[in-house]
A = this chain, B = another copy of it.
């Protein structure tokens, strides 16, 4: 999962570890806590060994201090052609881990780089998974209610509500996707411009109820 996210982020700009973590936190803040360095740095080395990223030379800008203090620290990575290939491959193949909480969140965060058919497939797979979880919770709340204390039941109830809410959210996204519109899209023209390629969603109406 982290591999996927790193490859995706480095496609927007070369970065060093610290920066990568900050961007990752900003992009995935809704999904998971900040990534640990104990995972990040080993993963970076793994990706480098696989040839998917390389160390970039720190554009000296001429006015830089030459080599007085040997310039330690600050290892900037950039993605390679093989890395982009790998990323595309990871997007295309949707295994079961694509639909769990973290996996889905990471994939969703890079939907701007994902083609519409794959987006639809992932959204539907996620919906199916959440529906299954929902049914499980309903079963427990219904059939096994007398075996559970009030706190455990309240937990299940809250979880069930979250499931129902997420299914509704997914339905909306799927409907939007099928009709070719972008997700919410209030800020017209500002957001999707940068990532050069892959069909940042078409213009699009905004349906919203937000305060």
User: What residues of chain A have their CB less than 8 Å away from a CB belonging to chain B?
Assistant: 26-27, 29-31, 33, 100, 105, 108-112, 133, 136-137, 140, 144-160, 162, 165, 169, 173, 182-185, 187, 190-192, 194-195, 200-201, 207, 210
Provide the bound-state CA to CA distance between A137 and B30, in Å.
7
Given contact pairs A151-B195, A152-B112, A187 touches B27 in the complex (Cβ within 8 A): no
Question: Within the complex, what minimum Cβ distance (angstroms) separates A180 from chain B?
Answer: 13
Question: Within the complex, what minimum Cβ distance (angstroms) separates A166 from chain B?
Answer: 8
Given contact pairs A191-B149, A201-B150, A30 touches B160 in the complex (Cβ within 8 A): yes
21 A-B pairs with C-beta separation under 8 A = A27-B152, A29-B159, A30-B155, A30-B162, A33-B100, A108-B151, A108-B155, A109-B155, A111-B151, A112-B149, A145-B190, A146-B191, A149-B191, A149-B192, A150-B184, A150-B200, A151-B195, A151-B201, A154-B183, A158-B169, A162-B165
Provide the bound-state CA to CA distance between A143 and B25, in Å.
15
Question: Within the complex, what minimum Cβ distance (angstroms) separates A127 from chain B?
Answer: 14
Residues of B within 8 A of A154 (CB): 173, 183-184
Q: How many copies does the complex hold?
A: 2
Contact: B30 with A150, CB < 8 Å?
no
Question: Within the complex, what minimum Cβ distance (angstroms) separates A133 from chain B?
Answer: 7
Residues of B within 8 A of A152 (CB): 27, 109, 112
Provide the bound-state CA to CA distance between A157 and B169, in Å.
11
Question: Within the complex, what minimum Cβ distance (angstroms) separates A107 from chain B?
Answer: 10
Interface residue from B110, B156, B162 paired with A162 (Cβ < 8 Å): B162
Question: Within the complex, what minimum Cβ distance (angstroms) separates A97 from chain B?
Answer: 11
Given contact pairs A29-B159, A30-B155, A156-B29, A112 touches B192 in the complex (Cβ within 8 A): no
